[in-house]
Amino acid sequence: MSTPERTSGVNGVIHDIGYQRYQGPRLGKRYAMWSLYVHSLRTAFGLGRGFRAKLLPWSLGGAATIAGLVFMIISTQTGLQVMGYVDLIGSLSYVVVIFLAVAAPEMVSRDLGNTLMPLYLSRPLSSADYALSKLAALVSGVFLTLAPSMVVMFAGNAFSTKDGVTGVLDHAGQFASGIAAVAIHAVVLAALALPLASLSGRRIFASTLVLAVFLISAPISQGLAEFSGAPEVPGMIYPVTLLNGVDHWLLGGTNADPGVWGPMYGVVTLLLTCAAVGLLLLRYRKVTS
């Protein structure tokens, strides 16, 4: 039977009901961030949930991979490279936008809508730790959606090349450029999408915000380009054109030629990404304040 112990200075009784203190290892902040990252990445692809949650993200990844397979088959059968590795990634930007409109709200809107943030941030996570873990998971999700298309293209082209080791090395260099384009697109687009998704605790509104940025900026950019003496400048307004210009400047892509504005495209991309990450951190600081 429990033995009551009377507290000093307080009218009450504390009962010892047999609970023991945790004596095991305390894994700390890094493990908490890793666990949140893994959970968020699984959420992006619907793992651990029903078929409907998996349908769209896996379909988008499958569509990107099939696109790589189709262009690889055309290249190996005709000997003509209709679309390069870097250009393929630029052409798949719309796949990424749809993925972000689905995955970003799943990662953050549920926690906001269900008022779970105080539980996450009780300890040892800070608001910045939470935001950066979510961002890393979203970047990884975009990367895993696009990267298989690069692998398929490289595998098919490398095994079918008639130029021997020289041909394999040539495709390996193009493959490396394609993977670099995947990483750039993943970081920039995820950094833009997550702060937008975090503005609403309802997934439908969060998805609308993510889509609206891309759907509205595209006609604005194209309209200004029609009346501008330097059409490359308004192209920086639309994230897809901006990234395609960076691909051309850094990696030799051909989807968008920024001309002499290539370095400026790179600077704008870097500043835009840093600003988006800063707004994300500020957003979650306000959530907990």
Written in H, E and C, the secondary structure of 40-55 is: HHHHHCCCCCCHHHHH
Cβ contact 247:253 at 8 Å: yes
CA distances from 239 to 45, 104, 184, 223, 225 (A): 24, 17, 12, 15, 14
Q: Write down the residue that tokens 């949140």 correspond to.
A: 36
pLDDT of residue 249: 92
Q: Give the number of other CB atoms < 10 A from CB of residue 218.
A: 15
Q: How far apart are CA 221 and CA 6, in angstroms?
A: 73
Alpha-carbon Rg of the chain, whole angstroms? 24
Cβ contact 99:57 at 8 Å: yes
Tens-binned pLDDT, residue by residue, of the chain (289 aa): 444 444 444 566 766 676 777 777 777 888 989 999 999 999 999 998 888 889 999 999 999 999 999 988 988 888 777 888 999 998 998 899 999 999 999 999 888 888 888 888 877 889 999 999 999 999 999 999 999 999 999 998 888 887 788 888 988 999 999 999 999 999 999 999 999 999 988 889 999 999 999 889 988 988 888 887 777 888 899 999 999 999 999 998 888 888 888 999 999 999 999 999 999 999 998 886 5
Q: How far apart are CA 259 and CA 230, in angstroms?
A: 10
pLDDT of residue 288: 64
Cβ contact 134:194 at 8 Å: yes
Q: Write down the residue that tokens 């290539």 correspond to.
A: 262
pLDDT of residue 38: 95
Phi, psi of 15 (to 5 degrees): -100, 130
Question: Which residue from 91, 80, 61, 243 is spatially nearest to 152, judged by alpha carbons?
Answer: 61
pLDDT of residue 135: 96
